[in-house]
A and B are shown apart, each in its own frame.
Chain A
Amino acid sequence: MGEDEFEKLLRRRLQPEGGPEIPAELASKLVKLREELDALSKLIHDLSVRLAAGENSVRAELNPAIRRRLQLMSDIRELERNAGLPDPPQVMYGPPWRGPSRE
C-alpha cells in the first residue's frame, strides 16, 4: 500500500470532526507494517490455494505465516488504538451480497 492510499485510509477512518493527528513517525511505522502484512497475505493466499489443491507440504510454511499475519494485525491495531484512531466498522457477518468485506 502506497503512502497516498494509506493516508486516504487514515482520513476515512478518522471521525468526521476532531480526529486525532497522526504523528509522522507513527504513520511511517504503520505504512511499513501494512506493507509487510499485504505481502504476507498474498503469500498465505497462494499457499492456501496450493493446499486446497492437495499440496500438503505447504502446511509447514503456511502455519507460521498465519501466526505472523495475526501478530501484525494485532500490532497495527494496537498502534492505531494508541494513536486514538477508532476501530473501523467491520463486516464478517452480513448478507451474502456484501461478501466477506469490510465497510
Chain B
Amino acid sequence: MARTVAGVTYTRTTLAVWEVTLSCGLACSHCGSRAGTPRRNELTTDEALDLVGQLAEAGIGEVALIGGEAFLRPDWLDIAEAIRRAGMVCSMTTSGFGLSEATARRMKQAGLRHVSVSIDGLEQSHDLLRRKKGAFASALVALRSLSDAGLFVGANSQVNRITAPDLPELYEVLRRAGVQSWQLQLTVPSGNAADHPEILLQPCELIDFFDMLARIAIHALQDGMSLSPGNNIGYHGPFTELLVAAGGTWSIGEGCLAGISVLGIEADGTIKSCPSLPAAGYSGGNVRDVKLAEMLTRSTNLGRNHRARTAPLEDLWGFCRACEFATVCRGGCTWTAQAFFGRPGNNPYCHHRALKLAESGQRERVLQVSPAPGIPFDSGTFQIVQEPLTSPWPNDGERRFGRDLIRWPARS
C-alpha cells in the first residue's frame, strides 16, 4: 500500500507481527508484554480470520505469529493456514517450550515456512532469564523437531548482562543445531525487564559488546549463517557494514521502520506500528472498530515515522539531535528510546555514540528513577548519566559486562 506524505510516496508495510494470544507457559524476566494469561478480550476465530483477509488486502507480505506463546491458542494453526491460503508467508517465533514433534509436523502441514526459537544464552543463563529450569533443553529439542519437520529454523536471542558473555559459545551451539539464521536484540526495560534494570547492558558496555559481535560475525560469514542484528543494535559504527553484510549496503539502518515496513497486532485486535511498542501513542486503533486499510491510510500514530522522514530532526533531542548521522539514523529504534525516556528521538544504545563519548573520555549509563507500574510494555522512567570514563561504578553489586567476562570457544 502506498501513501503520499509531503509529496513523497512511500511504500507501506510488508511484515505484520501478530501476538495471537498473550497466554504463555513461561514468565521470562525480559518479557515486554508481561505474557502469561490471555488478554481479556482476544479476537475470536472469526475475527482473526477476517483480519487475515484484511492483512492480505493491505499488501502485507508476511505474518509472523508470536505470543505469549502462539501455539497455546487452540485455533492458531487455522489462522496460519488462512494466512498461507491468502498468499502471505506465515512464520512464527516461539520459546519452543513444550513444542512437540507432532506439533512441528502440523505446523509444516499448515503451511508455516519459517520458525524462530528464542534461545538467549547457554543453559544456565537461558533458564535463569526464562525463569524455568529445562527451558534451554526444551528449546534445543524444539529446534530439532522443527528442522526434522522440514521448516526453516532460526534462533533469536536477548542480549543483556546475563547472556552477553555466552554469545560466542551460543553461536557454536546454534550452528551445530542447524540454525540457519540468528537474530540478536538488546534487552530494553519494557514489561518484566523494566522490573530488572540490573540485567540491562549499559550504553558504555556496548563497545566491548560490538567488538565481540564483530568477531562472531566473521565466523558467521565463514560458516554461511545469517547473523541478523535487530533494530536496536546499531548505529553507523565501524562494524555496521560487517554486521549487515548479508543485506548489502542499503540494509544499513536508515531510521526506525515502525509503521513503515512493520506492524504489530495485539491479541485483542489493537494495531500498532511495532509489536514491541506500547499501544498508547503508537496504536492506529482496533480492527473491531476500524478496518485495517483505513487505519493505514489515516492513522497519525502509525504514520509517525513517515513524517520523521520528511522532517528528520523534528523529534530528535539530546546527543542524537546533534549527531553527524542524525538525518540518516533519526535516533534509531523508537522502542528503545520510548522504553527508557518515554519518547523517541534520543538513543544512548548506539555504538557510534559510545565510541564518540569514549574518545572524549566520557561514558553514559542509564539509571532507573521510577519503577514500571506493571502493565504490558510499561517501562518506568530512566535518566542518562554522563560521566568521565574513569569514574568508579556505583557500589550497587550489579553484574557488569566487559571483554574479560566473554567466554570464547576453542576455535576463536
Binds A, one of B76-84, B100-108, B323-331, B367-375: B323-331
Which are the 8 A-B pairs with shortest beta-carbon distances?
A96-B183, A93-B231, A52-B214, A101-B247, A48-B242, A96-B154, A97-B114, A100-B247
Are B214 and A92 touching (Cβ within 8 A)? no
CB-CB under 8 A from B251, the residues of chain A are 90-92, 100-102
Residue from the list B14, B218, B249, B333 in contact with A73, Cβ < 8 A? B249
Residues of B within 8 A of A (CB-CB), count: 65
For window 51-103 of chain A, which residues contact chain B by CB distance below 8 Å? 51-53, 59, 62-63, 66-67, 69-70, 73-74, 81, 84, 86-103
Residue of A nearest to B249 (CB): A41
Are B239 and A51 touching (Cβ within 8 A)? yes
Known A-B contacts A52-B239, A102-B248, A103-B14; A90 and B260 likewise in contact (beta carbons under 8 Å): yes
Are B9 and A86 touching (Cβ within 8 A)? yes
Most B Cβ at <10 Å: residue of A37, A44, A53, A95 = A95
Are A96 and B11 touching (Cβ within 8 A)? no
Residue of B nearest to A103 (CB): B14
Most B Cβ at <10 Å: residue of A41, A69, A87 = A87
Are A52 and B246 touching (Cβ within 8 A)? no
Q: Total contacts A to B, CB within 8 angstroms?
A: 154
Tell me how far the C-beta of A33 lies from the nearest C-beta in chain B, rounded to whole angstroms.
12
Tell me how far the C-beta of B349 lies from the nearest C-beta in chain A, rounded to whole angstroms.
14
Is the C-beta of A10 less than 8 angstroms from some C-beta in chain B?
Answer: no
Known A-B contacts A52-B218, A67-B324, A99-B226; A41 and B152 likewise in contact (beta carbons under 8 Å): no
Is the C-beta of B142 less than 8 angstroms from some C-beta in chain A?
Answer: no
Are A100 and B246 touching (Cβ within 8 A)? yes
Interchain CA distance A93-B14 in the complex, whole Å = 11
Interchain CA distance A94-B322 in the complex, whole Å = 28
Chain A interfacial positions (CB closer than 8 Å to B): 15, 37-38, 41, 44-45, 47-49, 51-53, 59, 62-63, 66-67, 69-70, 73-74, 81, 84, 86-103
CB-CB under 8 A from B254, the residues of chain A are 73, 90, 92
Interchain CA distance A33-B154 in the complex, whole Å = 35
Is the C-beta of B122 less than 8 angstroms from some C-beta in chain A?
Answer: no
Known pairs A92-B231, A96-B182, A99-B247 / 6 extra A-B pairs, C-beta < 8 Å: A41-B249, A45-B245, A59-B238, A96-B183, A99-B226, A100-B243
Are B249 and A70 touching (Cβ within 8 A)? no
Are B242 and A52 touching (Cβ within 8 A)? yes
Interchain CA distance A21-B211 in the complex, whole Å = 45
Residue from the list A41, A53, A99 in contact with B181, Cβ < 8 A? A99
Are B11 and A86 touching (Cβ within 8 A)? yes
Residue from the list B114, B242, B257 in contact with A49, Cβ < 8 A? B242
For window 182-218 of chain B, which residues contact chain A by CB distance below 8 Å? 182-183, 211, 214-215, 217-218
Tell me how far the C-beta of A62 lies from the nearest C-beta in chain B, rounded to whole angstroms.
5
Tell me how far the C-beta of A76 lies from the nearest C-beta in chain B, rounded to whole angstroms.
9
Does more than half of chain A's interface fall in helix, strand or loop, or is it mixed?
Answer: helix
Are B250 and A73 touching (Cβ within 8 A)? yes
Residue of B nearest to A71 (CB): B328
Residue of B nearest to A85 (CB): B9
Residue from the list A51, A74, A87 in contact with B238, Cβ < 8 A? A51
Residue of B nearest to A87 (CB): B10
Are B226 and A96 touching (Cβ within 8 A)? yes
Are A103 and B9 touching (Cβ within 8 A)? no
Residue from the list A15, A47, A86, A100 in contact with B229, Cβ < 8 A? A100
Interchain CA distance A95-B328 in the complex, whole Å = 23
